[in-house]
Chain A
Amino acid sequence: QKEVEQDPGPLSVPEGAIVSLNCTYSNSAFQYFMWYRQYSRKGPELLMYTYSSGNKEDGRFTAQVDKSSKYISLFIRDSQPSDSATYLCAMSDGAGGTSYGKLTFGQGTILTVHP
């Protein structure tokens, strides 16, 4: 079993839809949670960053973390064709120690928003 599981999709939605992307994880030591967006033939770029449990909102994007269920989500409201990309969740057990901020990534979900 992988430490981080993410449904690879692909996911296809119409413009304006609400998109929900999810990851589950098994390592209870994870406390930093991130979402990256990767456009085709580009490097991933950091989209959302959350520490511990709770919600974080940034424009049309909301990240949720439920540590008790080991489950994180990214919601995209009013989705646009420009949101079409691969979305990767990533997690870290934190600063210091032997991890030095190493991230463990999910497999990525391919999202297409069609006009």
Chain B
Amino acid sequence: NAGVTQTPKFQVLKTGQSMTLQCAQDMNHNSMYWYRQDPGMGLRLIYYSASEGTTDKGEVPNGYNVSRLNKREFSLRLESAAPSQTSVYFCASSEWGFGGYTFGSGTRLTVV
């Protein structure tokens, strides 16, 4: 099925470890986004990429880096994981300028 694919679905990290969350979309969308979802906090934007070759910080970028590898792929990297980064991470994509997102199924990350 067409859509947004995130890998891995689950991950447990030790404090200080690094990892990369992968996201790929096959809808030829220009814009891609990384959100985190925490209880009572809703969805908060970490980073976004308006188009291939550009990335910008969102509301909560500290501790994260991103790479827009090509039009399809947008990865999120945690260089030194902290317990505060325990969360569910969602990748999304959209047509440029159209606010309707298609979300992936999420990555549940636990940092111990």
Contact = CB atoms under 8 A, between A and B. Distances in A.
Interface of A: 6, 8, 32, 34, 36, 41-46, 49, 88, 90-92, 94-96, 100-103, 105-108
Contacts of A36: 101
A101 B98 contact: yes
Nearest to B33: A102
Given A32-B99, A43-B90, A101-B96, 10 more contacts: A36-B101, A44-B90, A49-B99, A100-B48, A100-B96, A100-B97, A102-B45, A102-B58, A103-B101, A105-B43
Interface string B81-112: 00000000010101111111111111000000
Contacts of A94: 97, 99
A25 to B, nearest CB: 13
Contacts of B104: 43
B42 A105 contact: yes
Binding site secondary structure of chain A: loop
Contact of B31 (A45, A101, A107): A101
Given A100-B50, A101-B96, A102-B58, A44 B42 contact: no
Contacts of B40: 8, 107
B100 A49 contact: yes
A99 B17 CA distance: 33
Contacts, number: 68
B2 interface: no
A41 B103 CA distance: 12
Nearest to B48: A102
Nearest to A90: B99
A46 B100 contact: yes
